[in-house]
């Protein structure tokens, strides 16, 4: 299956089978009842939401992305429409195979949880805004201080270098840098997007993190990663960081990178 994340046998049955749509055809429309979710084998799919008399584009999904899962989780009408942007081939999955799919592909469950978590945070922000809760009032709670987002998204001098292509990926100046591939499903994008150098799609959406602690750096694999993370050829255990030094090799899936810290 595409992206090495979702693998299927290609067997056609009433439980899971492929369906095809021409460009412009709707997979389903907002408000319809649905009992299936879909994973994209080939092509691109637009997710649309109606606002008044207009349909607004929410996301463009591609090979390996999933959508429509809320119909299986909530048994409620579709909250958005899905329309083929290009000729598409989709794996259609209903409830009889949904549980088994989650057991066989843990990254799907992790990505769904991240997607739901993001929706909860957005809803919470909207409620706070509607109630007039100020930023100063929110910061009085006993949580960690809000990070400086400007600093987090500024590029630092440290680099990951992909020797075959010559591409360089800058780490953020914040305390953490995420490595992976863009994820339009959850709307989460890593600080370092390895899509351009990952022709085999071996890197998970959220594959690993590099932590900055004082003058030291550490590499840690994320939960739910399907293909392993290696530091100087040694496989990292999920959640167990390894110290990262200049010149070290970092490998996410089949993508090998060299960590460089400028001297002086």
Apex 114 CA angle, 220 and 36, nearest 5? 130
80 with 167, same domain: the answer is no
Return averaged pLDDT per consecutive 10 residues of the chain, 264 residues in all: 34 61 95 86 92 87 83 79 96 76 70 69 67 49 38 67 94 90 75 92 89 90 84 90 95 96 77
Among residues 142, 219, 234, the alpha carbon closest in space to that of 178 is found at 219
User: Is the four-CA dihedral 9, 15, 19, 24 of positive or negative sign?
Assistant: negative
- What is the model's pLDDT at position 12? 41
Distance from the Cα of residue 7 to its chain's centroid: 17
For residue 244, the model assigns a pLDDT of 95
Tally of domains within the chain:
2
Q: Which residue range is the domain that position 46 belongs to? A: 11-104
Q: What is the pLDDT of residue 238?
A: 81
Q: Look at residue 187 in the predicted model and tell me its pLDDT.
A: 67
Read off the CATH number of the domain in which 205 is found: 2.60.200.20
What's the confidence (pLDDT) of residue 170?
93
Tokens found for residue 55: 């349909």
Final residue in a domain of this structure, among 104, 138, 173: 104
Distances, alpha carbon 190 to alpha carbons 19, 136, 142, 212, in Å: 31, 28, 28, 16
Which of 112, 258, 142 lies closest to 197, judged by CA?
A: 258
Q: Are residues 27 and 99 in the same domain?
A: yes
pLDDT of amino acid 65: 80
In a domain, 46, yes or no: yes
**Residue 155: per-residue pLDDT:** 55
32 lies in a domain? Answer: yes
Residue 144 resides in a domain: no
The partner residues of 256 in beta bridges, in order of sequence, read 251
How far is CA 184 from each of CA 22, 58, 168, 231, rounded to the nearest angstrom? 21, 9, 23, 28
In a domain? residue 111: no
Q: What is the CATH number of the domain that holds 81?
A: 2.60.120.10
Q: Are residues 162 and 247 both part of a single domain?
A: yes
Task: Give the C-alpha separation, 102 to 109, whole Å.
Answer: 6
Identify whether residues 159 and 248 lie together within a single domain. Answer: yes
> Of the residues 104, 136, 162, which one is the last residue of a structural domain?
104
Residue 115 inside a domain? The answer is no
* pLDDT (0 to 100) of residue 146: 39
Does residue 129 lie in a domain region? Answer: no
pLDDT of residue 120: 65
The verdict on residue 120 lying in a domain is no
Whether residue 163 is found in the same domain as residue 216:
yes
In the predicted model, what is the mean pLDDT of the chain? 79
113 assigned to some structural domain? no
Q: DSSP of 2-19, one letter per residue?
A: GGGTS-------SSEEEE
**Chosen domain end from 104, 131, 164:** 104
């Amino acid at each position: 299956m595409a992206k090495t994340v979702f693998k299927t046998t290609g067997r056609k049955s009433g439980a899971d089978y492929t369906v095809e749509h021409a460009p412009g055809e709707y997979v389903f429309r907002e408000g319809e009842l649905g009992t299936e979710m879909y994973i994209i084998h080939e092509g691109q799919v637009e997710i649309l939401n109606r606002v008044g008399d207009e349909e607004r584009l929410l996301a463009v999904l591609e090979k390996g992305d999933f959508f429509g899962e809320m119909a299986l989780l909530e048994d409620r009408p579709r909250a958005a429409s899905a329309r083929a942007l290009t000729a598409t081939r989709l794996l259609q999955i209903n409830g009889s195979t949904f549980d088994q799919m989650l057991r066989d592909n843990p990254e799907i469950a992790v990505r769904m949880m991240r997607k739901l978590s993001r929706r909860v945070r957005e809803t919470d922000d909207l409620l706070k805004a509607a109630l007039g809760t100020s930023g100063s009032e929110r910061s009085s709670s006993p949580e960690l201080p809000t990070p400086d987002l400007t600093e987090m998204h500024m590029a630092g001098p440290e680099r990951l270098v992909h020797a075959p292509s010559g591409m360089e990926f800058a780490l953020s100046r914040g305390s953490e840098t995420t490595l992976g591939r863009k994820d339009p499903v959850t709307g989460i994008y890593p600080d370092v997007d390895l899509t351009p150098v990952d022709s085999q799609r071996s890197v998970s959406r959220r594959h690993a993190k590099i932590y900055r602690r004082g003058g030291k750096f550490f590499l840690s694999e994320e939960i739910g990663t399907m293909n392993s993370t290696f530091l100087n050829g040694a496989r990292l255990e999920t959640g167990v960081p390894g110290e990262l030094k200049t010149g070290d090799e970092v490998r996410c899936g089949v993508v090998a990178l060299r960590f460089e810290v400028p001297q002086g």
